[in-house]
Structure 1
Amino acid sequence: MERWRIIKAFTLGPLIEATIPKPGNVNRFRDFEDLTFYHFLFAETAVIDIYYEAVKVGELLRKGALLPSEAGIGELIRRAVQNAREAQNANPNFGIITLSIPLMIALSMGRNMLDAREKVKLLIEESIVRDTMELYRAIRIANPKGIPSGVKYDVYSDDSFRELFQDGINLARLAEISCERELIFCEWLNQYELSYNTFARLYELVRRRPLEEAVQTAFLELLASNLDTLIIRKAGIEEAKLVQRKAGEVLEGKLTLEEFDSFMREKKDLRNPGSLADVMAVALSLLILRGYRFTPEL
């Protein structure tokens, strides 16, 4: 696929996701104490040069000039996270970067958007231990909330890099170990199934609804059918289940969107559904890539 078309789509998608009011998330009307709409604007535009490099890697892979094991996914993620951190002082887009870079490479390799799902599976499977080490460095830079300590291959342990090397933990193996704790890794393992399903739902909704309403509906459906792993890490499984149940009540007409948003913010950012917001950002990128054109008269 054409280089700049991919880059533009994966820059605009997360910006739309951050702009549209969604329950429990930062948006153009609502901030958290330590995370604002401006953090997203600065962070997302700070990674464009790395996204350009990622797409070039995909082109080289397509031509056979690189092997999949030489894609350098981990380093690209780490450099993008570093760029984002240098542009602002929070962690608005680690998950988006981590989802986007492998998929952008795959889209550049593949014939079309569906073909990219097979390519991204190959990239994750053929990654090397160095990719995982670079991802760990990226996590340390971003410093996401709720990362567990005292677990096997602890991100913040001084012994983790030796353990990763000794056990040959590439990105695919890491994803298998960590999927239960972080939705991003499940997407790596499942060929971005949730992201593509959400894109398909958005594509259906925007044909008959304004973009903002379509995104809000699709996001409620995401929340009602999935447990957000960021909420689980920060607030526990019961809080995540409660959010899921409340989202279902909105879809059933038992709760208004405004009431749900107030509930989501009762405990500041503990109920912030960040992992599912990352999925929505990628789905919106795919929608733009598919050719969605904004028409405010709808």
Structure 2
Amino acid sequence: MSTPETPKLALSNSSALPALEKLIQVVAQLRSPDGGCPWDLAQTPESLIPYIIEEAYEVVDAIKSGDQQAIAEELGDLLLQVVLQSQIASEVNQFSLAEVAEGIAEKLIRRHPHVFGDVEVSSVEEVRTNWEQIKAEEKGETGAEVKPLSDKLSRYARTSPPLMAGMKISQKAAAVGFEWDNIEGVWEKFEEELGEFRYAIAHEDKARQQAELGDLLFVVINLARWYDLDPSEGLSETNHRFVQRFSKLEAACDRPLSEYSVEELEAIWQQIKVLLAKQKQA
């Protein structure tokens, strides 16, 4: 494979390197024992995990909104997490931001031989196939050293949000034949797990209830897979609808919600659902 030429920076990104250097210096000062910020100095890689997840989701929300200013701001917050993690690691000689950037650049070069090498492709599917093959080779998952599928499933369970992990795990298991014969079998499993969950709620301890809830949700994910639906997107839309309706509910009430009966709130809620449905159809 030929050594790729360094791509020229786009005009709009010509100031990216100085800006990144400034960010690196700011974060280093925040972490400095000499005049740094107590909060930043108290952080560890583990303590920052919730912020990484939160910022990633806020980037997604901004992209969905289409607000370019919000997207740029949220990407900055996410970039801060990368720089901060790298700064903390560099302080104990584990790795640096330079190594992080160099590592991902080299990975992109390796996995795009049709761009940086002499491989020819004719479709997006070929690109995806090559990517997965190269990735497997990097991880020693080809030939006689093929790792069991459970290793990959375990990685999904550790590294993906639960709904996404459940979908990936069920897809991979189904692909090798661990699958129901038809959709009726999935519905039967749903009824079975629902019954076991109801029994656990009535007769068993919290740990068992939690386990049965997980089993029930996993079957719901499999139902979504059979019907080619996205459970994460479905739940996200439901959350947004609930918040929208709840906002309308608050606006429709002239006293604190706690002063209304459940029946009164339900009646207003149903009116709001009808109103929003008509507005959506208009």
TM-score bracket, normalised by the shorter chain, equals under 0.3
Q: Taking structure 1 as the reference length, what is the TM-score of the superposition? A: 0.25
Higher normalized contact order (CA 8 Å, seq sep 6+, divided by chain length):
1
Q: Which has the larger radius of gyration?
A: 2
- TM-score scaled to structure 2, two decimals? 0.26
